[in-house]
């Protein structure tokens, strides 16, 4: 099969995927617009502008970069589109803020790709990223307002930001650069100190879900570079001992998770959200009740922490499964890219970024369904919120930078084995 034929096939597959995704998004837009008493032109512009942006990105990327493979970006656009639909079903204001957040996230994604294109440039960014991350967390501790028992958000007047989301991108960069070269006690010690500082600050903010995500990512990065299971087990043991001490001296921490596995006993108090998710998401069936028709939207944090349950209720279990499979696709892409990455930095960064996204997905989905304690983390790319959206696209850049596209298999080329010459019988050797 010639290279031209392979490119035509990839273009056809790419256009087919984009066309199917556009059809799905048009159906979602129609469902949202039909629920409005009076047609909002602004909402029409938001949906059609988003779809146009997807196609423009694909076409420009193909013509300018010559890259025929946009599976990773297509997954991100699919998930972001679902999040935009959820926001639009609540209000025009939510939809406008969400599409701005998607645009900023895409811009961060492109800038990140340029910055980490060269491993040496990425290495130079390690110290500024580390200082910036620690600085953001320090500012968060000083300026953040106490909302629902946590110090996550800084109110800037016209909008609020969650600095810990931006620190996630820096955390992966610092870890991947620090351990990119041969593992040394100096680089590992510095990264451990940096990680402890980040996790400690998050504990002071009482943001235990994000602290757990950072700790998991640290373990993943350390294991990617060392492969020493005993060391990782020792670190986990020390962390569990520390958590036990925190719970012993700070009983209110344990009280936050008292309803875990007992939500039906507290269905009108601390288990209110999980029980409603379990009831309403099951009522959606395979195809959902219809966008905007669910009851879970009346529960607090329906468009943020509980968004997966809302998707299952209004769009159906099939779309919920599609969301989960999309994250599985991101993880598969990261693993495949790591195997052929040009540098250890890209391999570590891609796997740790995908691991962070996947672990956060697990905390969100399993938390609202009571399989894990409810920690209040968002669903990447889908939950309403600008900080989370920008962080999700920023982490995606590490996976794309690792480089391995889903190239179709190349035809095998037959190689003729050299014929071994033997001397004739009775002749000279």
Q: Which of 1-15, 164-178, 354-368, 409-423 has the lowest mean pLDDT?
A: 409-423
| Total-model pTM | 0.88
Summarised one tens digit per residue, pLDDT across range 66-103 is 565 788 999 999 999 999 999 999 999 999 999 999 99
Question: With 0-12 CB in 10 A as exposed, 13-18 as middle and 19+ as buried, what is 6?
Answer: middle
What is the predicted pLDDT for the residue at 182? 53
Q: Is the dihedral of CA 157, 172, 109, 50 positive or negative?
A: negative
Sorted by where each begins, the domain ranges of the chain are 119-402
> Contact at 8 Å (CB) between 297 and 89?
yes
Question: Which own/partner pairs from 136-145 qualify as long-range (CB within 8 Å, at least 24 positions apart)?
Answer: 136/163, 136/164, 136/166, 136/167, 137/163, 137/164, 137/167, 137/197, 137/198, 137/201, 137/202, 138/201, 139/163, 140/164, 140/201, 140/205, 141/201, 141/204, 141/205, 144/205
CA proximity to 191, closest of 381, 378, 402, 352: 352
E strand or H helix at 94: helix 92-115
Kindly tell me if the per-residue pLDDT of 284 is higher than 60.
yes
pLDDT (mean) for 410-418: 47
pLDDT (mean) for 158-174: 90
CB neighbours (10 Å) of residue 245?
10
Summarised one tens digit per residue, pLDDT across range 342-383 is 888 999 999 999 999 999 999 999 999 999 888 889 999 999
What is the predicted pLDDT for the residue at 411? 46
What is the predicted pLDDT for the residue at 89? 95
Q: Which of 30-44, 185-199, 200-214, 272-286 has the lowest mean pLDDT?
A: 185-199
pLDDT (mean) for 19-45: 92
DSSP label of 371: S
Instruction: Report how far residue 271's alpha carbon sits from residue 201's, in angstroms, rounded to the nearest whole number.
Output: 28
């Amino acid at each position: 099969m010639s290279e031209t034929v392979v490119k035509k096939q990839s273009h056809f597959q790419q256009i087919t995927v984009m066309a199917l995704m556009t059809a799905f998004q048009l159906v979602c837009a129609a469902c949202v617009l039909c629920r409005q008493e009076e047609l909002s032109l602004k909402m029409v512009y938001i949906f059609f502008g988003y779809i146009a942006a997807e196609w423009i990105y694909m076409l420009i990327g193909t013509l300018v970069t010559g890259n025929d493979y946009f599976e990773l970006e297509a997954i991100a656009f699919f998930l972001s589109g679902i999040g935009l639909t959820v926001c639009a079903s609540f209000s025009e204001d939510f939809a406008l803020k969400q599409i701005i957040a998607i645009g900023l996230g895409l811009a961060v994604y492109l800038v990140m790709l340029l910055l980490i294109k060269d491993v040496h440039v990425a290495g130079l960014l390690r110290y500024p990223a580390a200082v910036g991350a620690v600085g953001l967390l320090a500012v968060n501790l000083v300026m953040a307002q106490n909302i629902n028992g946590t110090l996550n958000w800084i109110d800037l007047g016209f909008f609020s930001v969650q600095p810990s989301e931006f620190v996630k991108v820096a955390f992966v960069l610092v870890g991947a650069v620090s351990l990119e070269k041969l593992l040394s006690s100096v680089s590992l010690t510095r990264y451990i100190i940096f990680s402890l500082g980040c996790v400690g600050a998050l504990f002071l903010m009482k943001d235990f879900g994000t602290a757990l995500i950072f700790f998991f990512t640290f373990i993943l990065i350390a294991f990617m570079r060392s492969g020493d299971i005993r060391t990782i087990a020792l670190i986990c043991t020390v962390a569990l001992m520390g958590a036990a001490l925190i719970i012993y001296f700070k009983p209110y921490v344990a009280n936050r998770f008292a309803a875990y596995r007992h939500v039906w006993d507290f269905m009108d108090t601390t288990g209110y959200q999980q029980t409603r998710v379990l009831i309403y998401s099951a009522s959606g069936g395979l195809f959902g009740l219809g966008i905007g028709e669910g009851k879970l939207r009346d529960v607090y944090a329906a468009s943020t922490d509980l968004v997966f349950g809302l998707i299952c209720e209004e769009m159906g279990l099939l779309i919920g499964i599609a969301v989960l499979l999309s994250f599985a696709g991101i993880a598969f892409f990261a693993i495949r890219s790591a195997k052929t990455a040009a540098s250890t930095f890209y391999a570590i960064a891609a796997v740790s970024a995908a691991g962070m996204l996947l672990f956060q997905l697990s905390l969100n989905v399993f938390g609202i369904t009571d399989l894990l304690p409810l920690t209040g983390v968002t669903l990447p790319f889908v939950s309403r919120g600008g900080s989370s959206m920008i962080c999700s696209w920023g982490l995606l850049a590490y996976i794309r930078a690792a480089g391995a596209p889903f190239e179709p298999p190349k035809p095998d080329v037959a190689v003729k084995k050299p014929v071994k010459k033997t001397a004739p019988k009775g002749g000279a050797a």
